[in-house]
Amino acid sequence: MARAIPYNASPQIEADRRLLQFNNYEEYLDSLNTNQDDCYLGSIEVRRIIAELGYRSSGETLSREQFEKRLAAVLLYLYPPYKPYELSSEGIKEGDPLQLELALRERSNRVGILSTIVFLRHYNKNGFEISGYIDYSEKLRKEDCKPFFKGTKKIIPKQTDLGFYHWRAGKVVSNDSLNYKVSMHPTKGLIFQNRFDRKVINPAPDANPGANTTRKRIYTNLYELAILFDHVVRQRI
């Protein structure tokens, strides 16, 4: 079952995924025991006390309170409470091809089955080119996209998006997003790594976009160029 994707996951939560293998604190303590403990310490309670005191780990040994708190944080990260939503594109039946294509993808992006990156090339009112890569799922969660589907407002790349290019100003900005980590590969150039299945998306025009990813150009009257990178998310724990 697809799960909603939480926001601002910390490195600590990523590290604490290991706690999912334990059903309770006692199992965690038992995992710290050595073969010598099993031979010379007959009481399981004594072995657990020694482990809890920190004598069986070169790193941090969690207290019961820390274990339960961190495990709860991981579970909340992976399985956040369901929040009902209203589709921004609800009821749209006609419009620009890009509006219709994004409407088709809205629900699957909201529930985390699909993760779409939108590349847009646009000229601002001064005639200067602005282009960028947008995490569509993040855009849906953080902004009201109804005006776009109603045709009253455009989605314009911003400096806070995955990638932003202002050619006149010579400004190039990239940011990690809800679903992707951005990096510069020495030979491939700009690439996006999905946070949840670790698959890499390569947006270069002459390259294979990557596993479980398709590239589709949309012929739209709203922008100079619009390309959708649709990544089917293979969830993993």
Span 122-175, pLDDT tens digits: 998 888 999 999 999 999 998 999 999 999 999 999 999 999 999 888 888 999
**pLDDT reported for residue 35:** 62
Asked if 194 contacts 179 with a C-beta cutoff of 8 angstroms, the reply is yes
Single-letter amino acid code for the residue at 25: Y
Whole-number Å distance between alpha carbons of 146 and 166: 26
CB atoms within 10 A of CB 50: 17
Query: What Å distances lie between residue 127 and 8, 27, 101, 207, 224, CA to CA?
Result: 36, 64, 27, 30, 12
- Beta strand 114-123 with 129-135 is antiparallel
Q: Phi/psi class of residue 141: alpha, beta or left (left: φ > 0; alpha: ψ in -120 to 50)?
A: alpha
Share of the chain above pLDDT 70, in %: 84
pLDDT tens-digit readout, 33-63: 766 655 556 667 767 777 677 666 656 788 8
Q: Is residue 7 pLDDT above 50, yes or no?
A: no
What residue ranges do the domains of the chain occupy? 11-78, 97-232
Asked if 154 contacts 222 with a C-beta cutoff of 8 angstroms, the reply is yes
Mean pLDDT of the chain: 85
Q: Whole-model pTM?
A: 0.64
Whole-number Å distance between alpha carbons of 118 and 201: 12
Asked if 87 contacts 148 with a C-beta cutoff of 8 angstroms, the reply is no
User: What average pLDDT does range 100-117 have in this prediction?
Assistant: 95
pLDDT tens-digit readout, 165-207: 998 888 889 999 989 999 988 878 899 999 989 999 999 998 9
DSSP state at residue 148:
H
The CA-CA-CA angle for residues 218, 222, 225, to 5°, reads: 45
Where b means 16+ CB within 10 Å and e means fewer, 128-146 reads eebbbbbbbbbbbbeeebe
Query: With the C-alpha atoms ordered 17, 23, 24, 26, is the resulting torsion angle positive or negative?
Result: negative
